[in-house]
Amino acid sequence: MDSKIAVESLPYSSTPYPLFKKIRHLPLPVLLASGDDRNRKDARFEYITAAPDKVVKSTGTEISIETHTEKSVFSGSPFDVLAQEFPLDANSTFDQDLPFSGGAIGYFGYEMLHPWFEISPGHEKDIALPDMLIGIYSWVLVIDHVLKKCSLVFRDNCRKELRDEVTKALTQTNDISSGTFNLAGSFISNFTREAYQDAYQKVIDYILAGDCYQVNLTHRFVADCNGDPYTAFTRLQTIAKAPFAAFMEDGDQAVLSFSPERFIQVQNRKVMTQPIKGTRPRNPNPNQDKKNKIDLESSTKDKAENLMIVDLLRNDLGRVCDTGSISVPNLFETQSFTNVHHLVSTITGELEKREDVFALIKAGFPGGSITGTPKIRSMEIINELENVMRSVYCGAFAWIDFNGNMDSNICIRTLVKDKDKIYCWGGGGVVADSVCEQEYQESLDKINLFMDALKSGV
C-alpha cells in the first residue's frame, strides 16, 4: 500500500447518496457516481470528497489559486498551471483496488482553450461558472461495488482538523432531507426549429465547401428553477444510470453530469479513450428496440462518423503517446443506455512518463466526438453558428491522482445550475449525408429523458 495514505474501513453502502449528504456542508463537495448497473465494468467505483486544500479556477486567460491562507491571480494556460500547482509524487503507486486516493477533481469547460486556439469569444458569457474549476483534495471516500468495501482514505498531508471533521460527519446519523427541486417555467431553446435548420444548412455548406467533414451542432435549453440541485441529480441518475456521472457544487452553482462517454483514462501510463458517435433511441417495445439497435449497427453513415472521430483521436493521442503504441482494439461496439443505443470505439496508447498526463489531456481537449473534424475549424464554425456558450457542456469532468493516473468523461447529458436557472444541451454530429429532421430529433432523444423528468418534478 502507498505509504503516503492511511485507509480506514467504513460499512459498505450500495449507494453513495446518503454518504455524500453527510459531507455536503463542506466546501466544494464532489460525487463521482457510476450508476447501479453492476453488469458494467465501469460501475465498480464511486468517489466522494470535499474541502480541497487548493482550488484552481480559470476564466478566459485569468487563473486564480486559492488555499486556506491565500489567493493569487495571474494569467496562464489552464493545463500548464494545473501541472505546476499539482506536482505528481514519484513515490506514489497504483492500486487497482484503490485507483484514486486523492488528488485533482473538477471540470474543464468547453471554451477553456479558446484563447489559445485564437477563437474569438463570440457570445456573451451568460453562465457565471468558471471555465475551469479544479479542487486538489487530500482525502476521499471510495466505494467499491465489486469487493463491497467502503474505504476512507486520508493522505499524509491532510490537516488533522479536516480529518476529524470528515470522520465525525461520516460516522454521524444524518436524517436531514435534501428537499425538492422544481422548474419554475418551461425549458426554452436558444434555437427555434427554423433557426436550427438555418444553422444546420450552414454546416452542410461548410462541409460541401471543404472546410470540414463533420461538425457537432448543439442547441441549449434553459428554465427557471428552485430547490435543491442534489435532489435533481440523485433522481436523474437513478433513471440515467450513467457510468461517468458527476455532481459538483459551489455555492448556488452546480454541475450535474450524466455522461455515458469516457474521455481519457490513464492507468500506469496506459491510455484509453472511448468516443461515442452514432445514436438510436431506446423503445419500450422490445421488438422495436431491437430494430433500432440493428439499424444503428448496420448504418454506414454512423460508422463513417465514428471512424472520422477515431482517426482524429488517434492523431490527438499520437502527439503525446509513445510512437507505435496507438491501436484501436474495439471499433463500433454497441452500448445500450437507459434512453439510447450508442456506437462506441476504443483507442489505446502508452505514455513515456507519468507527467505526460497533463500534456495528454491538453492535446485531446476538447474531445473530438463533440467538436467535429478537423477539430479547430469545426470549433470555429460552432462558435459562429451557436449563439450561446457551451460552458461545462462538452468539456470534461476528471480526476487525476498523484501518480499521474486519471479518468474523465465528456460532459454530454450534462446540466448546469447557475443561481435560479438550469441549463441543458443536446446535439449531434452533422456530416454531408445527414438529414436535418433526423439530426434535430436525435439531439432531443439524448436529453428528453432529463427534461421530461424535471418537468414532472423531482
What is the Cα–Cα distance from 436 to 416, expressed in whole angstroms?
Answer: 27
Assign 423 a pLDDT band (cuts: 50, 70, 90). Answer: very high
pLDDT of residue 176: 63
| Helix or strand run (H / E) with residue 171 | helix 160-171
pLDDT in tens, 352-379: 998 999 999 999 999 998 999 999 999 9
Assign 8 a pLDDT band (cuts: 50, 70, 90). Answer: very high
Closest CA to 8 of 124, 118, 180, 168: 168
Spatial CB neighbours of 205, under 8 Å, sequence gap ≥ 6:
none
In order of their start, the domains of the chain are: 5-456 (3.60.120.10)
Give rounded-to-5 percent helix, strand, coil for the chain.
Answer: 30, 35, 35
Residue 424 pLDDT exceeds 70: yes
pLDDT of residue 2: 65
What is the Cα–Cα distance from 152 to 145, expressed in whole angstroms?
Answer: 15
What is the Cα–Cα distance from 200 to 263, expressed in whole angstroms?
Answer: 26
Q: Helix 229-240 vs helix 448-456: angle between axes, to the nearest 10 degrees?
A: 130
8-state DSSP, 273: E
Assign 440 a pLDDT band (cuts: 50, 70, 90). Answer: very high
The three cell numbers of residue 183 are 422548474
What is the Cα–Cα distance from 213 to 228, expressed in whole angstroms?
Answer: 42
Closest CA to 338 of 252, 263, 260: 260
Assign 43 a pLDDT band (cuts: 50, 70, 90). Answer: confident
Residue tagged active-site, from 111, 249, 261, 380: 261
Query: In the predicted model, what is the mean pLDDT of residues 32-61?
Result: 91
What is the Cα–Cα distance from 371 to 354, expressed in whole angstroms?
Answer: 27
Q: Taking the CB of residue 128, how many other CB atoms lie within 10 A of it?
A: 12
Query: In the predicted model, what is the mean pLDDT of residues 432-450?
Result: 92
Main-chain dihedrals φ then ψ at residue 105, nearest 5 degrees? -140, 140
Active-site residue, 62 included = no
Instruction: For 68-211, list the strands marked E by DSSP.
Output: 71-75, 103-108, 132-137, 139-144, 149-155, 181-183, 188-189
- Give DSSP secondary structure letters for 59-84: ETTEEEEE-SS-EEEEE--HHHHHHH
pLDDT in tens, 64-102: 999 988 999 999 999 999 999 999 987 777 788 899 999
What is the Cα–Cα distance from 163 to 92, expressed in whole angstroms?
Answer: 21
Query: In the predicted model, what is the mean pLDDT of residues 46-50?
Result: 98
Residue 1 pLDDT exceeds 60: no
Closest CA to 332 of 310, 316, 359, 350: 310
Of 36-50, 62-76, 186-200, 385-399, minimum mean pLDDT range: 36-50
Q: Which residues of 168-201 are buried (b: 16+ CB within 10 A; e: fewer)?
A: ebbeeeeeeebeebebeeebebbbeeeebeebbe
pLDDT in tens, 261-314: 999 999 999 999 999 888 888 889 999 999 999 999 999 988 988 998 999 999
The three cell numbers of residue 453 are 423528468
pLDDT in tens, 102-126: 999 999 999 999 999 999 877 888 9
8-state DSSP, 328: E
What's the CA dihedral at 11, 14, 18, 20 to 10 degrees?
A: 90
pLDDT of residue 3: 63
Main-chain dihedrals φ then ψ at residue 388, nearest 5 degrees? -140, 165
What is the Cα–Cα distance from 221 to 234, expressed in whole angstroms?
Answer: 21
What is the Cα–Cα distance from 226 to 236, expressed in whole angstroms?
Answer: 16
- Cis amide leading into 284 (omega within 30): no
SS3 for 167? helix
The three cell numbers of residue 24 are 455536503
What is the Cα–Cα distance from 426 to 443, expressed in whole angstroms?
Answer: 5
pLDDT in tens, 118-158: 998 778 889 999 999 999 999 999 999 999 999 999 999 99
Residues 209, 417 contacting (CB under 8 angstroms)? no
**Residue written as grid cell 464532489:** 30
Average model confidence (pLDDT) across the chain = 93
Residue tagged active-site, from 277, 303, 362, 417: 277
pLDDT in tens, 159-209: 999 999 999 999 887 666 678 899 999 999 999 999 999 999 999 999 999
Residues 351, 357 contacting (CB under 8 angstroms)? yes
Active-site residue, 111 included = no
H-helix segments, 298-414 = 300-318, 356-364, 375-385
What is the Cα–Cα distance from 356 to 348, expressed in whole angstroms?
Answer: 15
More confident residue, 54 or 179: 54
Phi-psi region of 332 (alpha: psi -120 to 50; beta: other; left: phi over 0): left
What is the Cα–Cα distance from 209 to 413, expressed in whole angstroms?
Answer: 31
pTM of the complete model: 0.94
What's the CA dihedral at 105, 110, 111, 112 to 10 degrees?
A: 20
